[in-house]
Amino acid sequence: MRVLRTPEARFENLPDYPFEPHYVAVDGGRLRVHYLDEQPEESAASGETVLLLHGNPSWSYLYRHVIPPLVEAGHRCVAVDLIGFGKSDKLADRFAYTYERHLGWLREAVFDRLDLREVTMVCHDWGGALGLPLLAAHPARFRRVVATNTGLSTGDEELGAGWPLMAAWLQSSQRTYPFEPSTIVDAFTVTGLDQAVLAAYDAPFPDEPYLTGIRQFPLLIPISPQDEYTPALRAAWAVLEGLELPFLCAFSDQDNVTRGDHSALSGRIPGAKGRAHPTITGAGHFLQEDAGAALATAVDDFIRSTVKEHSA
């Protein structure tokens, strides 16, 4: 694999992103994964670890307004950049990105290298499409989950009214040139974003060869039962449908993708049933931009309300 690494100069002076970078090596040492690891003062620590997973085409920058209030509440926050995104390495060959490899890289980074345990996972967009199979494969590593504007498709679902949006995204992700990730974030948020913030979403991608991960992700979403990943994802669902782990859906009211409907998760996962799932209001698909503090509050409230539940 030809590996590309975004020059550090691209990440200088990003707005509201003062966090210290950390790195681990995966895939036999060939690839470098970037992550944030923000921790509270020892005297204020809750003992909880929150793993924050981004989707496409964002990176850990998406969580810059979610992390500080969670750390202030006493929680350790680990935010990983998936391979192909953020400060993590990128691959020049788009076909080197597969569902299986993405899962392997993520598992190796957070479990084999960081040895995270008793995790509260917050997963968004593709962060859920990877994080939920990771949960199914390693449920003992997790305490609870907060899913936000995400899902886990197997290809068995009826696309129905959502097909035009899916088709438009599939086509635009392949045809648009030049491709600027910031235009996607800007289009799927409610609030206006400063130019410096938009530039931060483009920072990891100096030119076309760095964008292969973004372009390949949409093509990995199963859209029929004949998809090569369908059997593995069905197997993940077989575990999730028996999982009593505390599970919360915190979807936003103005998400063009889910339209606030989390029933595909909350209606199937036992740990989600009977809970009051909050709706994050005044927020689009990238709700971390529109309502980061509100999402942090929802996560903190869920952690605190389920501490005894986990102990039991």
List residues with catalytic annotation: 125, 255, 285
Length of the chain: 312
53, β-bridge pairs: 80, 123
Phi-psi region of 13 (alpha: psi -120 to 50; beta: other; left: phi over 0): left
Helix or strand (DSSP H, E) at 173: helix 163-175
Looking at residue 189, its amino acid is: T
Q: How far apart, in whole angstroms, are the C-alpha atoms of residue 280 and residue 300?
A: 14
Q: Given the DSSP bridges, would you call strands 90-91 and 3-4 parallel, antiparallel or unpaired?
A: antiparallel
Q: Which residues of 158-170 are buried (b: 16+ CB within 10 A; e: fewer)?
A: eeeeeeeeeeeee
Q: What's the DSSP call for residue 21?
A: P
SS3 content of the chain, % helix, strand, coil (to 5): 45, 15, 40
Q: Is the dihedral of CA 299, 18, 58, 53 positive or negative?
A: negative
